[in-house]
Structure 1
């Protein structure tokens, strides 16, 4: 502080800068703080307090089914090396942090050295040593303590590992764990549990500069070459594209969290309902509406206020993005987003079945592989995930581009009835999920392969439809059946009005009246005729 009165440091200024606005120059740190610099944690405390006092992000979220997790890690012992697991009581009023991290490629022996198991849970309820934990966990404990919080949730410590019953129970409560957390710590830069995340790649060898256009970046301190620079405030590169955010489990952790601190390898970012704030004291604004919905601390309130079309587009965006993310266990595909799915279904007031929402059933069913490769069925237990759900297969998906407003959906296509008690458990849905619908057969047409899809041709070899197969094509439409999902009218090249059907391609199973999905597409109405009523697609 110099003389001449108090100086005000504007902590969060807008990233949108105009070189003509000379009175609105960015306020920034000249260098990033060292990993152990107390000012770094002071900034985190300031962000947290400022959000508590100025935003609505910390309001209790009544949508969460579980107010507190089954177990938390207690960090408040007088001896900082002593930790213990704590089972919250129903009337406890506890603030806790949650850790979002990547396990990485570590061996099972390594995992057993620090995970909670049936063998050590009783002793961990009494107390154990901080030194038993890997670096990423120790960094998370350091941050939690520095911010004045005594409780932390970490999956491998608070869920009993290699105990299927406990894992299933806790997986269903995951929505509440992150939605109720006071704040989430994202170990964005940590490739695995042993890596840690407080240390970073950019250090004081770089100096922050700003050019005449307001663009900000770091250059090496010992050179004047502006081409030798490191991008700064690049949330997309530092966070969105980081390995952590390629993991499937992390998607719902991030969306359901009220606010998140991202520890990238370049700088810290604070993310809450009001936007993203950088360690360089800059506020980032996003023009991407879908990100705005994801920042909602009371997700999905903002989404529902935007109307049905936005909701459909967002659900499809989430499904596509999630389908391209990585999982260590492929059978977790139907579980790692189940909390988020349940939250959306509850908010829009409908049932959902493995990523397919009843209120938007028809559009949700019209998905296809995004990479053009044939799908591989995931090895779930028999009957767990139906063939018409994209969760039944591995790999990325995309939805057919269908206009809004001019499509008439098949009202005979619906979910089958289910027992409510069975529906409540995602691990006990065996053999009960089916679509009830009519099916038809193709007539007066044939198939011809065209790159990743098949053209439906009439007798003159004119194209009358297109099919994308999930699995191998039979090459013969006379062996295929189809479900008409919706239809719309359009004029062809001759100005004649034709009706276009959006279809699922299905095949008979070994049971009469039961079919399985094998593809998706469209076909002109004259080449399909309805044949059987009220069959099941499983």
Structure 2
């Protein structure tokens, strides 16, 4: 499928700043430019209208070449030596690795160093001056102090300032809520009282309380859970020492904030009661939204990993200038988490094990205020602003909790649909311990979207945006791993992204494309069968009946460079590559006359992959910019009168010149 204009990378023009900021007199190192953002062919002026425009420079260095650089004592570059010392301290085994080193320089700012490759993903080292009055060289800036312990008084004071700054700010209208609904109130809370008081589970009886919520990874570690048998005992007293370390830290944080109650899912939901789990999980969105603040144990892989912990201290880097004068130079590891001021860019990106868990996404999206405990610092987000310990000043950057409120406040329903699709794209990157939780784990967000749009929810799709929602596609197309096959156990209809464990994305249209976007398939009927008490949760069946232009085609498979690709052959047009949902295989079905015909279906893990050519049906779903976008369908094994989705295609309008309007049932 060709990329729409909104996904094509714009051409960035670089401007040499030599005329505006001047060249320094000394000859600079060709490798590192003396760690100076000025005077390089790729220097960019951040603000050319300012009296003293600040420069920025991004360098890409070769690790093998840098590792061979002479040290300062043998006439090497002292600035390259700084980089080498930093890399040795923070990036193990970088020497000898065939990777690129990224060095980002900003005038009067800190220097950010990172390495390409999965091994060092999201890891960034920040180099900065230890003192404002004695900076080693003119363009290097200082950095905000970060306490070396996340449980320090400094960090708790930072938390209190963040919360009070949110509550007291009259502009934070999105952060104000009223927790009066007994329907959405948690059924149980953990009463942590004071340090000398007993900890116990209490039944809220529909009353409203000010409480903290914990977002965490369960992991494989043994933790205390509430069951039908131990619930009466836990309602009397829970020993602090019987709780996993993470829960102990969460209680300490709750008490430090002057609060009495906390909601922890494993304790506040009876784990061996399906009814209790379905009722409380269906309220999950409101539980997090109505909490005073959410503690996000981002860096904790399970209950045994504390969030109140020691952090790695910054290191001192020896540096002498040309006159042998020593300076205080520091370096510390940070995580690539900052948002940007561009409203169209993404919000803050906390880094840690929790960010890979599917359930945690809606806890992040729906919370009013969130504290992210990461490996290097604390991040604070609300529905209006963002702060972190390395950037403590309040900023009106995009935040994840603001995503839906801003879309709703815009009064434009297309913005709400875009918000949903961006969330789903992120959600499908995450993993689940229980595969059947795919729809329940995002049902809280779905409830908010339904409230905002009053649209019918169809197992991950929306009736009010059905054309664009149907055009989800695997990203990238399946090549290996468990997601490259259909699930062993049916979970959702094939037209839903929830039917697979694969990362997906959508066709995001720019303004011009949206003006020309025209749905070509009409939704005639839909049917979804929920399996439990959560109407937005797990399903046991579902179908869509659509009417739109169709054309028969031959789908062929081919293996190139070890990867399987699938091509459509439509009479009168050139071949069209499809974006397959997963691996595909040929299959056969019985006709009404008792004969057999060939078709294509999604491959199971036990299926041998092979070359094939078989008949499929192409359904046009929409047109824009002289492009027809649609679905590739194969006959359903369970119901030969229905069709199952195989992938998506995009083609020129000539492919559907001889199309036939047809009613199609998707299952």
Do both share a fold (TM > 0.5)?
yes
Q: Is the 8 A contact 1:500 1:523 kept in 2?
A: yes
In structure 2, do the counterparts of structure 1 residues 284 and 117 end up closer, same or farther at CA, with 3 Å as the change threshold?
A: same
CA-CA distance at 1:322 after TM superposition: 0.7
Q: Is the 8 A contact 2:211 2:261 kept in 1?
A: yes
CA-CA distance at 1:31 after TM superposition: 5.1
CA-CA distance at 1:192 after TM superposition: 1.1
Q: Is the 8 A contact 2:413 2:453 kept in 1?
A: no
Map 1:53-452 onto structure 2 (within 5 A): 53-54=168-169, 55-56=172-173, 58-60=175-177, 66-76=183-193, 79-80=196-197, 82-90=198-206, 92-106=207-221, 110-111=222-223, 114-203=224-313, 206=315, 226=329, 229-232=331-334, 234-236=336-338, 240-280=350-390, 282-283=392-393, 285=395, 291-292=398-399, 294-296=400-402, 299-305=404-410, 307-373=412-478, 375-380=484-489, 385-400=492-507, 403-416=513-526, 425-426=535-536, 429-437=539-547, 440-442=550-552, 447=556, 449=558
Aligned to 2:119: none
In structure 2, do the counterparts of structure 1 residues 206 and 52 end up closer, same or farther at CA, with 3 Å as the change threshold?
A: farther
Residue number among 574, 587, 598 corresponding to 1:462 in the alignment: 574
Aligned to 2:67: none
For 1:32 and 1:440, the matched residues in 2 are separated by 63
For 1:166 and 1:140, the matched residues in 2 are separated by 24
Work out which of the two has the higher radius of gyration on C-alpha atoms and give 1 or 2.
2
Aligned to 2:619: 483
In the TM superposition, what whole-angstrom CA distance separates every residue of 1:358-378 from its partner, at most 9, and x where no partner exists?
A: 211111111222132164333
Q: 3-state DSSP class of the match of 2:514?
A: coil
In structure 2, do the counterparts of structure 1 residues 63 and 314 end up closer, same or farther at CA, with 3 Å as the change threshold?
A: farther
Q: Is the 8 A contact 2:517 2:622 kept in 1?
A: yes
CA-CA distance at 1:332 after TM superposition: 1.3
- Which 5+ residue runs of structure 1 have no aligned equivalent? 1-15, 209-222, 491-498
| Correspondence 1:534 to 2:651 | no
CA-CA distance at 1:347 after TM superposition: 0.5
Map 1:503-514 onto structure 2 (within 5 A): 503-514=631-642
In structure 2, do the counterparts of structure 1 residues 250 and 180 end up closer, same or farther at CA, with 3 Å as the change threshold?
A: same
CA-CA distance at 1:522 after TM superposition: 2.8
Q: 3-state DSSP class of the match of 2:619?
A: strand
In structure 2, do the counterparts of structure 1 residues 234 and 157 end up closer, same or farther at CA, with 3 Å as the change threshold?
A: same
For 1:121 and 1:235, the matched residues in 2 are separated by 40
CA-CA distance at 1:176 after TM superposition: 1.0
CA-CA distance at 1:453 after TM superposition: 3.7
In the TM superposition, what whole-angstrom CA distance separates every residue of 1:80-126 from its partner, at most 9, and x where no partner exists?
A: 4x211111133x341000001111232xxx23xx1111120111112
Q: Is the 8 A contact 2:279 2:534 kept in 1?
A: no
Greater relative contact order (CA < 8 Å, ≥ 6 in sequence): 1
For 1:314 and 1:452, the matched residues in 2 are separated by 33
Query: What is the TM-score when the length of structure 1 is the normalising length?
Result: 0.78
In the TM superposition, what whole-angstrom CA distance separates every residue of 1:414-472 from its partner, at most 9, and x where no partner exists?
A: 442569999962457432443443573415x6646475542334678833564535341
For 2:532 and 2:228, the matched residues in 1 are separated by 28
In the TM superposition, what whole-angstrom CA distance separates every residue of 1:195-228 from its partner, at most 9, and x where no partner exists?
A: 111103224x5589xxxxxxxxxxxxxx9684x6
In structure 2, do the counterparts of structure 1 residues 231 and 181 end up closer, same or farther at CA, with 3 Å as the change threshold?
A: same
Q: Is the 8 A contact 1:369 1:398 kept in 2?
A: yes
For 2:239 and 2:251, the matched residues in 1 are separated by 12
Residue number among 152, 158, 161 corresponding to 1:46 in the alignment: 161
In structure 2, do the counterparts of structure 1 residues 58 and 459 end up closer, same or farther at CA, with 3 Å as the change threshold?
A: closer
For 1:267 and 1:178, the matched residues in 2 are separated by 23
For 1:516 and 1:315, the matched residues in 2 are separated by 24
Query: What is the TM-score when the length of structure 2 is the normalising length?
Result: 0.64
In structure 2, do the counterparts of structure 1 residues 48 and 300 end up closer, same or farther at CA, with 3 Å as the change threshold?
A: closer
Aligned-pair Cα RMSD in Å: 3.8
Q: 3-state DSSP class of the match of 2:249?
A: helix
Map 1:23-34 onto structure 2 (within 5 A): 30=145, 32=147, 34=149
